[in-house]
Amino acid sequence: MKIGALKENFEGEARVAITPSSAAHLKKLGHEVFVESGAGTRAGFSDGAYQAAGITVEPTAAALINDVDVVVKVRPPVEG
C-alpha cells in the first residue's frame, strides 16, 4: 500500500502524522511511504531525514495525493 503524509496547515500545529522512524517501520512492513516536502519541519524532521530513511519526498500536496492510496494527517484538512 502507498501511504502519504501531508504537511499540516493548521495554525500552531507542530505534529506530523508520520515521522522518519515510523515511516521506516511502515516500509519494513512492505508499504511505500511518501511525505509532502516540509511535512516534518515543525516537528523537527527535515526532508533529508525522511530521504535517509528511504522515504519519497513529494514537492506538493497534489503530487503526493496523486501517488498514494491513503493520505494521513494529524488534523482534518482545512482550506488554505
What ranges do the domains of the chain cover?
Answer: 2-72
State which fold the 2-72 domain adopts: Rossmann fold (3.40.50)
Please tell me the predicted confidence (pLDDT) of residue 61. 95
For 30-44, give the DSSP string.
Answer: T-EEEEETTTTGGGT
**Residue ranges in the chain whose pLDDT is less than 70:** 79-80
Please tell me the predicted confidence (pLDDT) of residue 80. 58
